[in-house]
Amino acid sequence: MSTISRQAYAEMYGPTTGDRLRLGDTELWLEVEKDYTTYGDEVKFGGGKVIRDGMGQGQAVAKDVADTVITNALIIDHWGIVKADIGIKNGRISAIGKAGNPDIQPNVDIIIGPATEIIAGEGSIVTAGGIDAHIHFICPQQIDEALTSGITTMLGGGTGPATGTNATTCTPGSWHIHRMLQSAEAFPMNLGFMGKGNASLPEALDEQVRAGALGLKLHEDWGTTPASIDNCLSVAEKHDVQVAIHTDTLNESGFVEDTLAAFKDRTIHTFHTEGAGGGHAPDIIKACGEMNVLPSSTNPTRPYTVNTIDEHLDMLMVCHHLSPSIAEDVAFAESRIRRETIAAEDILHDL
């Protein structure tokens, strides 16, 4: 019986049952729980490899074979960590198991035929696409960058390279929502747009939801007052859509306690809940302790590294249309940047 070392096997077909892998440069390790292959009958594409006519590729017609097979993929999902071939039919995953030619190979449940395309999964991880829930839709090139990072769903707001979009993740009004939905058809990405939720009366918010907004975003640069918070959540409750909020750094219309009271125990998503990205200074982080609040982090403080503090002031001044010649604008930006709460955010993530 022929044998092969674990290292040589992993280099050729990827890791197998019992092998452990380190994820990038993190301290996270995973272990392969199961390999669906039949050792000695693995399939692999290439010159002199297995997936050739009469070998790993059989004679079955298109209706009986996978349209595409991803070979020897390491699958990470909520139900486990396994090594397997993945069959795709009509654009959807149809099977996870052992691919090949059932005429000569045992235990084949994904048939490869003349109509089958192959994607080599050896040495790669296949997992569910990521969701980025805080996008400023400034330019279409963001979609290419997101796809290369494994993101398959982008949620947020904006209208392109507009001043409001640079600062806030809102797509305001029916006209802008329609144009963004229209432009989304050109891209291989799941896209969703949040309307502007800053209004004290419901009618202007109702029409945005009817126009296709998947939710509403409250942002302090548009005025996140207790009245607008209450109204926005009421409209969202009526239409069964979500609300996200960027709270009032200046504490101009109330303190964090007033904002929490305006929620009235209704579920809400709070972005950059540490505060450097914006929110009640200096204590917005206390929102993390509320049962109805879904807190999140955004890019400004993730990860917290040696340059995080130094780069923040200029970033805030540019993004939020502030002037370095106006003392109040500088003070506004500086009030957000706190080493202590940025460090606390890291601990909350580790929990």
How does pLDDT run across 169-190, given as a tens digit for each residue?
Answer: 999 999 999 999 999 999 999 9
CB neighbour list of residue 122: distance below 8 Å, 6 or more residues apart: 12, 13, 14, 44, 71, 72
**33/41 Cα distance (integer angstroms):** 20
Query: Which of 105, 126, 147 is the last residue before a domain boundary?
Result: 126
Shared domain for 38 and 179, answered yes or no, is no
Shared domain for 310 and 218, answered yes or no, is yes
Specify the pLDDT at position 207: 98
**Residue 226 is part of a domain; what is its CATH number?**
3.20.20.140
Assigned domain for 226 exists = yes
Out of 90-94, 164-168, 191-195, 312-316, least confident range: 312-316
| Residue 334 pLDDT greater than 90, yes or no | no
Shared domain for 173 and 301, answered yes or no, is yes
| Cis amide linkage into residue 282, ω under 30° from 0 | yes
Shared domain for 151 and 58, answered yes or no, is no
Shared domain for 122 and 134, answered yes or no, is no
Shared domain for 106 and 164, answered yes or no, is no
CA distances from 299 to 151, 274, 342 (A): 15, 11, 12
Residue among 134, 272, 312, 320 flagged as catalytic: 320
Specify the pLDDT at position 300: 77
pTM: 0.84
**Is 349 a catalytic site residue?**
no
Shared domain for 76 and 156, answered yes or no, is no
Binning pLDDT at 50, 70 and 90, where does residue 56 land? very high
pLDDT one-digit tens code per residue, 272-282: 898 888 899 99
**Residue 86 is part of a domain; what is its CATH number?**
2.30.40.10
